[in-house]
Chains A and B, each alone.
Chain A
Amino acid sequence: MAGKYDLEKRKYVIGGVAVVIVLIYIVRLFALQIMSDDYKKNADSNALLKRVQYPSRGVITDRHGHLLVYNQPSYDIMVVMSEQEGVDTLDLCESLGITKEYYVKRMAEIKDRRHNPGYSRYTQQLFMSQLSSEEFCVFQEKLFRFHGFYVQRRSIRQYQSPHAALLLGDIGEVSPADVEEDDYYQNGDFIGKQGVERAYEKQLRGEKGTQILLRDARGRIKGRYRDGKLDTRPVPGKNLTLGLDRDLQALGERLMEGKLGSIVAIEPATGEILCMVSAPTYDPRIMVGRQRGKNHLKMTRDPMKPLLNRAIMGQFPPGSTFKTTQALTFLQEGIITPETAFPCHHGFIYRGLKVGCHGHASPAKLVPAIGTSCNAYFCWGLYYMFSNRKKYKDVQEAMTRWKDYMVSMGFGYRLGIDIPGEKRGLIPNAQFYDKAYRGSWNGLTVISISIGQGEVNATPLQIANLGATIANRGYFITPHVVKQIQGETLDTLYTRRRYTMVERRHYETVVEGMRRAVLSGTCRKANLPGIEVCGKTGTAQNRGHDHSVFMGFAPMNDPKIAIAVYVENGGWGADYGVPLGALMMEQYLNGKLSPESEEKAEMYQKRHIDYGTADR
């Protein structure tokens, strides 16, 4: 056995064990407290409840200050399971207008942690959302009897009038993708889904405030963290003023009843959208509250596609309205002068190719050609341009030149309007035809682009913008819906002039032609008393009945409004396009319609076009 001296040495072993234990623990402490941040985050999400304080969303008014969109209180019914007992469920269901089965299902859903991960018996859980004031009134009277049920006030969007649904857009609960994209959002928050609500989400939403509360292990609130020193107050959203004219928009929607198509009006001097009608439309108020989902689904399934904003998403052949762009291009390129005349014997007939035209005096110079919308004139123009080998070394170069003109006038690319979903239309280029015709094509092959047919496609917005450009004699400002943001200046994109490649003097010639069309040409129905209207019709051929198109502006020398009307399958430009455009311009410029015009408007409102039920 070991001696006494050896045994005393064992104190070092024992002391060593104590030292090693304490050292290990200190290393462990170091690892937990200093090496890792996870525990701190964990602790915060444990104990600190960030209660969000919702700001009020900005309101939206039209250009004259009429309220369009505002906030309205709505009520969420909350339930605390641990307190909820002895409730007469039958009475509760009756007061809320729900069935017993729904109640049982809802309760089961709340308790299901897979669908409701944040469930706690001790905290408020959402039972029913977005009750209107009326629905809530019934419930409130009996609330005292329903132990464990609470009410949380929230605000929802409400619309003053049943108009401009697609333009204004709506709000809905955020999708998981939204939450992932922007930290600002949490599940259950609202976000702009379409139109202005979506495009100006950041301005409208304001800044959420937070109240940091202490929460115990059972989820009960135990007070404010550091006496509220770290709390932030919500910042209300900014109000928006739109360029929209409420009454003009209302008239436009009235006139387009029972038709498919679009009316877009722009103030040429500013690029502000005065109205943007897309037909069919819907009442924005059905997209609020608990019915939203149901109604939304119904409209997605509607073959007429009421959710499609045709003004910016519909891509149509611009038809004869496009001839103005051709005139401007040919003049600027020196292919023609205002004095140049081309023959027209019921059309453009050359080397076995025929593009028909209606009867008018021949040969015609440019102004009467625009006035009467002569197809042959512009076909000749394009033919001479594309076969001019002195100026362009081949047809591709001519085509590229032509395309550049169109693009400078706002075609072929998105204009950049401030609401989402805009389409770019289509302006073909040389490569496009090289591919389509394997390199073997010439001016005659593509002749129909000169009259806005063939491959050329444009949105009604682009056509209206063309009107604004001509009204401005050579420039446009990117069309935009929002005129003013409270406390912010507009993006320079919406204040800067964008000049086309054509000189002002050539625009004067085209304006003269458009004036001629109203006075003695295709747009005679647009001749308003006391207002110098300029216009251009379009009759866009397509597989079915022709589309009826009108593009114009007024007054001629101090343009206040430029407009495009596009009525699908409406027939001649003069059938719908011209009269509707005239009514719209009258409404805007005079602030009201004359009694005769009112009669006319009623007539057009009632005249519906039969589109059949085939899928469109």
Chain B
Amino acid sequence: MERLTDEKEKGVWRSLDWWTILIYVALLAFGWISICGASYDFDQEGDIFSFEARSGMQIIWIATSFGLGFVLLLLSDRIYETFAYFIYAFLLLLLFVTPFLAPDIKGSHSWIKVGPFSFQSAEFAKCATALALAKFMSSYGYNISRWKDFLVTLALILVPVVLIILQRETGSALVYLAFFLVLYREGMPGSVLFAGVSAVAYFVVGVRFEHTMMGYVPTSVGEFLVLAMVILFTVGMVRVYCGRSLVARNILVYGGGLVLLVLGFSWWVIPFNVKWVMLAVCIGMVVYLCYMALRERILHYFYIALFAVGSIGFFYSADYVLNHVLEEHQRVRINVLLGLEDDPAGAGYNVNQAKIAIGSGGLRGKGFLNGTQTKLKYVPEQDTDFIFCTVGEEEGFWGAAGVLLLFLMLVLRLIHLAERQPYAFGRIYGYGVMSVFLFHVFINVGMVLGLTPVIGIPLPFFSYGGSSLWGFTILLFVFLRIDAGRNLTRRNS
């Protein structure tokens, strides 16, 4: 037994994926440089290594993260699978009590204070959720297409989401959407992802053009486009899934033709709201599809009809949520992102300043500690959520593109590692880790570049703060430990 453990420990270092470690260390180094740039004050001839400064503090977090990673690698890879539910339950409890313990920081109750330190429980819950998902989905007889299994999977993801939303940390909660990529890999139908993408498309187009009218026709361009998309998507799906081009052509020619005819009538003859006709066309289309489902006994028609109904229902309910449920600041953020409100001094200030900071970097950047926008506090939260501005400003295009490519390498490497796992548990957890990183980079960098909504989530290994760095380190090193044991586990078991 002792001999085995010995061999195992040696094996960990041999089979550890050093490529990932290398990328991890490179990202941390780059991140530390950026923190120095972002927190450096022109006023004080401050020492960047001083623990008074954030750059100095970050050194402590980085050092402790290395320690943490080292300890995680020494632990047995079995404990994660064994204790996955336990860890998950513990973190749910922690998430649940957090709002009661946490003081109010800018309206959010997510930081638990322990002595001089405070930490964000949500950062650690990601790892726990990924473990629990991996354990549940790798359990014997699990089938994602079975409703019961799928619902439990959804619950595993959504319970922490709800708890985090209760802490008023909507941004951190949205990160859990990333796990749908895992579900996709594990066999969730692609149409669900397609539905998700079309939902985003409906929402963006619908809201963006909600108040634009179509010339003489008193119809909102947003509504028109969304309903047109519903019809076109339906036609496309009928073609792809049912292989009946005649049905698709019928819908396109009669439905689309009618809409165009009515549109022309409204434009030239008597103006009226075309959307009623379009809704009528949609209903007709749904009825026609249901009829086809019954006649041909092909269930796909029915599903497609369901998609059309769901699309319309989603669009109108999203509209309702935006205008009646969301809070004012959230609505403003969405509107600014969609270009509906242009207010460089107000809600759009952050993104505008972020773009200025990045844009001013040019090809080569202004050089280490030479950025002016980030240091002079034009960019808000310049060392946390908007840290990528510092990279763009001081390191220029080469630096910023380099960082993005490093992240891409990390993500692709993680996919590679996940795919080589002998067991589903390791693979699913690996995909979970990868999805979290991808989502963080996607949203964080996207918001700084003005492409995604301003959602306050950190850029892994870059944003200042112990909680997020530790959280990401644990997430990554647990997977590295599992990966390192991929060959040995079999031998020992």
| B363 and A33 form a contact (CB under 8 A) | yes
Q: Which residues of A contact B43 (CB under 8 A)?
A: 222-223
Report if B412 contacts A (CB, 8 A).
Answer: yes
Report if B361 contacts A (CB, 8 A).
Answer: yes
The answer, among B185, B187, B407, B449, for a CB contact under 8 Å with A32, is B449
| B360 and A29 form a contact (CB under 8 A) | no
| A21 and B377 form a contact (CB under 8 A) | no
| B397 and A34 form a contact (CB under 8 A) | yes
Q: What's the minimum C-beta distance from A192 to chain B, rounded to whole angstroms?
A: 37
| A36 and B408 form a contact (CB under 8 A) | no
| A22 and B404 form a contact (CB under 8 A) | yes
Assess A24 versus B451: contact at CB under 8 Å? Given A29-B397, A217-B377. Answer: yes
| B376 and A215 form a contact (CB under 8 A) | yes
Q: Which residues of A contact B456 (CB under 8 A)?
A: none
Inter-chain CA distance A223–B446, complex, in Å, is 33
Q: Is the interface of B mostly helix, strand, loop or mixed?
A: helix
| B185 and A14 form a contact (CB under 8 A) | yes
Report if B463 contacts A (CB, 8 A).
Answer: no
Chain A residues close to B by CB (< 8 Å): 1-2, 7-8, 10-11, 13-15, 17-19, 21-22, 24-26, 28-30, 32-34, 36, 38-40, 42-44, 46-48, 214-218, 222-223, 225
Instruction: Known A-B contacts: A14-B415, A47-B378, A223-B42. Give 15 more (CB < 8 A).
Output: A7-B187, A18-B408, A18-B411, A21-B438, A21-B442, A25-B445, A26-B401, A29-B400, A33-B359, A34-B397, A40-B360, A42-B356, A43-B357, A46-B378, A47-B372
In the A-B complex, the 7 residue pairs with the closest CB atoms: A39-B359, A43-B360, A47-B372, A216-B376, A32-B359, A22-B408, A223-B42
Q: What's the minimum C-beta distance from A220 to chain B, rounded to whole angstroms?
A: 9
Number of interface residues of B (CB under 8 A): 48
| A46 and B392 form a contact (CB under 8 A) | no
Chain B residues close to A by CB (< 8 Å): 41-43, 145, 181, 184-187, 353, 355-363, 372-373, 376-378, 392-393, 396-397, 400-401, 404-405, 407-408, 411-412, 415, 418-419, 431, 434, 438, 441-442, 445-446, 449, 451
Inter-chain CA distance A616–B42, complex, in Å, is 65
Assess A214 versus B376: contact at CB under 8 Å? Given A25-B404, A38-B359. Answer: yes
| A47 and B373 form a contact (CB under 8 A) | yes
| B446 and A25 form a contact (CB under 8 A) | yes
Q: What's the minimum C-beta distance from B18 to chain A, rounded to whole angstroms?
A: 21
Inter-chain CA distance A18–B416, complex, in Å, is 13
Q: Which residues of B contact A26 (CB under 8 A)?
A: 401, 404-405
Inter-chain CA distance A14–B430, complex, in Å, is 13
| A14 and B397 form a contact (CB under 8 A) | no
Q: Which residues of B contact A223 (CB under 8 A)?
A: 42-43
| B376 and A32 form a contact (CB under 8 A) | no
Q: What's the minimum C-beta distance from A158 to chain B, rounded to whole angstroms?
A: 40
The answer, among B41, B360, B405, for a CB contact under 8 Å with A39, is B360
Which of A7, A15, A29, A38 has most B Cβ within 10 Å?
Answer: A29
| B404 and A36 form a contact (CB under 8 A) | no
| A11 and B419 form a contact (CB under 8 A) | yes
Assess A33 versus B372: contact at CB under 8 Å? Given A21-B442, A25-B404. Answer: no
| A19 and B361 form a contact (CB under 8 A) | no
Q: What's the minimum C-beta distance from A127 to chain B, rounded to whole angstroms?
A: 25
Which of A2, A11, A17 has most B Cβ within 10 Å?
Answer: A11
The answer, among A2, A15, A39, A48, for a CB contact under 8 Å with B355, is A39
Q: What's the minimum C-beta distance from B454 to chain A, rounded to whole angstroms?
A: 16
Which of B181, B378, B415 has most A Cβ within 10 Å?
Answer: B378
Closest to A42 in B: B356
The answer, among B181, B359, B376, B449, for a CB contact under 8 Å with A40, is B359
Closest to A28 in B: B449
Inter-chain CA distance A32–B445, complex, in Å, is 13
| B408 and A19 form a contact (CB under 8 A) | yes
Q: What's the minimum C-beta distance from B106 to chain A, rounded to whole angstroms?
A: 18
Closest to A215 in B: B376
Q: What's the minimum C-beta distance from A26 to chain B, rounded to whole angstroms?
A: 5
